Amino acid sequence: MTMAETKKTDPNEKPRIGVYVCHCGSNIGGFVDVPSVAEYAKTLPDVVYATDNLYTCAEDGLTSIREGIRKHNLNRVVVASCTPRTHAPLFQTTCESAGLNKYLFTFVNIREHCSWVHMKEKEKATLKARDLIKMGVARARLLMPQEEEKVDVEPTGLVIGGGVSGMTAALSLADMGFPVHLVEKEGELGGFVRNLNNLYVTEKSATETIKPLIEKVKASKNVKLHLNSQVKSVEGFIGNYDVVMASKGAEDIKTKVGTIVVATGALEFVPEGLYGYNQYPNIVTLTEFEILCKKKSLPSLKNVAFIQCVGSRGQKVSYCSRICCNVAIKNAINIVDNYENMLGLAEKNGTIIDTVPVEKKVPDEILERRRRRRGRERGEEGEAEEVKLGPSEKIEVTVFNRDVMAYGVEHELTYNKAREHRVKFVRYTPENPPKVFMEGNQLMVSYFHETLKLDRSMPVDMVVLSTPMVPQLDTREMSQMLKVPQGQDGWFLEAHVKLRPVDFATDGIYVCGTCKGPADITEAATQAAAAASRAAIPMAKGYVQAEALTSVVDDIKCSGCGTCIQVCPYGAMRKNDKGLAETIVAACKGCGCCGATCPEMAITMTNYTDAQLLAEAKATLEEV
């Protein structure tokens, strides 16, 4: 489609409003008398054309909008259909293609907010739909065309955090040809993975797995690596961020970047005061366990218990940490299969464990016995064969869990493998968790056997606590510095969980990896590649258009008190040379906080003016 020349809409021209009422098949039409609503719309002030469409968003619907604009010389368009949150861009583009400024379009939601929620009262729903359109028309009459400001974008990226995510993002941007600053606060790249022994699914050594990535980053000409560094301050807005980086023992580095990718990772929750952690010997977290394995310094073990969901899922944090079941399963298999390799005593010339032997030969009859037992466990309760607990020749591994979240194709297979390899899975309920205690010199775990309905206990040599990932301690400061939001659990919050999963609401800043919530390496790397390509879009284009949804300061009314500068969450207000407030259009997100605050009432919100909001609301209050 070719761009139609934009018709110059004279703001002072008398409004000529077109109203398009959508049936949405029967989604609206089935519960609202749409034709009568369209007829009603014709009676509203300044409405010169109104019609109903079966599907306004389908090609013929869009054509009818374009034709209406031309034929009836419409200078405002109202579509009454679904939700602006998904469909506004489509109708706005349609208006633009017919020469109408997109800010002269108004959306009225008569589906999600009407037909779908009043399915049993057609008459009342129809009245409400009429009212909503009346309100939309009242708003449309006061709309003004807006120009969007073009902002140049500096084609340099900044990636914060040098774990798998940060490295992947930096490398992707570098490969696209953009110079990238990669800032890592530690002295080494690699992030959390540096703690890990081997990685689930591949069972390959963690160190070996990320080695090529680290090497590529170091070799890349476009990546400027800043180790032992942190970002000290970030000022500006999309395309124009002034960044100061502080490195240990060096002078601060100032630089300008266009976009920023945040990949600062996560921490492991420390289960202080839970299950005897730091109170009894040999009680470790998953990460500590991985470190012991990696350093080959496990003590001699016969009985190991993993306790899942320590502190997560409604305990200390609300969420499920997503990875710990699979990490525990991985480690359980490691112990059963490859224990000698990780033993401090049986050091083998310092070689790293590259692969875990695939299948340890288990006698067929034992396999057969286990298969039968599993069948019974799945069948009726109380029948399960008594499992012999206690010290034995081999290592016994028990995973106490609330549910096993071994999702997807691969994890289910690994879970099955663990069962094949004698790992026992015992369920507990959050009301009745296992207990860890000492009996003389012996570490013990007691638990309630849900199937047998019996209290049991067993001696153990080590307890591994699966605790959740938690946000970095400085997430709050980072969020304030970057002006990006955190969600309820303190993780960084994306702009839209479904549609914009790696964008922040703040334009020009993107997020990936475990700093936005628990994820494994596969997921972190996927997000990182996505974040990098999102960050590359404005840089490749060279400019962005700032939505004309901003504050505007009337410098006759402004007294320069600075309150707006104080309340703006985006630093989008500044003082000009006259000492008066001024909006930085590219940084302003149009929240309206300054407008509702300014004591001199000097601030107007473009496209959401007081007059527009009041007209919209009051339209329904008029006596009919």
Partner 1 sequence: MAEPQHTIHEKKDEPRAAAGEFEPKIIGFLCNWCSYAGADLCGVSRYQYPTNVRPVRVMCSTRISPHLVLDIFKAGADGILLGGCHLNDCHYISGNFYTEKRVRLMLKLLEDAGVDPKRLRLEWVSASEGEKFSKVVTEFTETIRNLGPNQVKKDAALRSKIAAADEASDTFRLRALVGKELGLEKTGNVYGNKLEQTELEKLIDIATKEEFERSLILELSKDKARSVKELGKIMEVPTDRVLRHIVVLRQKNMLSMDHPEGFTPTYKTIIIGGEQ
For binding to ligand SF4 (CB under 6 A), which residues are involved?
Answer: 550-551, 553, 558-564, 567-568, 570, 572-573, 580-581, 583, 588-594, 598, 600, 602-603
The one among 132, 243, 404, 462 contacting partner 1 by CB under 8 A: 132
CB nearer ligand SF4, residue 301 or residue 549: 549
Q: Are strands 253-257 and 240-247 parallel, antiparallel or unpaired?
A: antiparallel
CB nearer ligand SF4, residue 48 or residue 567: 567
591 contacts partner 1 (rule: CB under 8 A): yes
Where does this chain touch partner 1 (CB under 8 A) — which range of 13-21, 157-165, 488-496, 528-536? 488-496
| Relative orientation angle of helices 34-41 and 122-141, to the nearest 10 degrees | 30
Distance CA 141, CA 289 (A): 67
Question: How far is residue 415 CA from its own chain's centroid?
Answer: 27
Binding at 520: pick from ligand FAD, partner 1, ligand SF4, none (beta carbon under 5-8 Å per type): ligand FAD
Task: Locate 143 and state its tokens.
Answer: 């709309």
The one among 87, 483, 516, 534 contacting partner 1 by CB under 8 A: 483
Looking up tokens 């761009």, which residue turns up? 3
Binding at 550: pick from partner 1, ligand FAD, ligand SF4, none (beta carbon under 5-8 Å per type): ligand SF4
Pick from 116, 109, 115: nearest CA to 133: 109
Interaction mask 535-574, partner 1, x per CB under 8 A: --------------x-----------x-x--xx-xx----
CB-side neighbour CA atoms (13 Å) of 494: 22
Beta carbon of residue 174, minimum distance to ligand FAD (angstroms, whole number)? 16
Question: Where would I find the H helices in 314-440?
Answer: 324-342, 364-378, 408-420
Report the run of H or E that residue 465 belongs to, with start and end: strand 462-465
CB nearer ligand FAD, residue 282 or residue 609: 282
Beta carbon of residue 116, minimum distance to partner 1 (angstroms, whole number)? 4
Terminus-to-terminus CA distance in the chain, angstroms?
A: 44
- Contact assessment for residue 49 and residue 65, using Cβ atoms and an 8 Å cutoff: no
CB-side neighbour CA atoms (13 Å) of 411: 15
- Specify the length of the chain in residues: 624
Binding at 230: pick from partner 1, ligand FAD, ligand SF4, none (beta carbon under 5-8 Å per type): ligand FAD
Binding residues vs ligand FAD (CB under 6 A): 160-166, 183-186, 191-193, 196, 199-200, 230, 263-266, 268, 286-287, 290, 323, 327, 330, 469, 472, 474, 478, 513-514, 519-522, 524
Beta carbon of residue 160, minimum distance to ligand SF4 (angstroms, whole number)? 23
Q: Which of residues 568-587 bind partner 1 (CB under 8 A)?
A: 569-570
Distance CA 485, CA 301 (A): 46
Pick from 50, 45, 103, 58: nearest CA to 79: 50
Distance CA 601, CA 548 (A): 20
The one among 83, 297, 355, 392 contacting partner 1 by CB under 8 A: 83
CB nearer ligand SF4, residue 268 or residue 547: 547
Q: Determine phi and psi for 450, rounding to 5 degrees.
A: -65, -35
Residues that bind partner 1 (CB under 8 A): 83-85, 109, 111-114, 116-121, 124-125, 127-128, 131-132, 135, 479, 483-488, 493, 495, 497, 505, 549, 561, 563, 566-567, 569-570, 589-593, 595-601, 605, 608, 610, 613-614, 616-618, 620-621
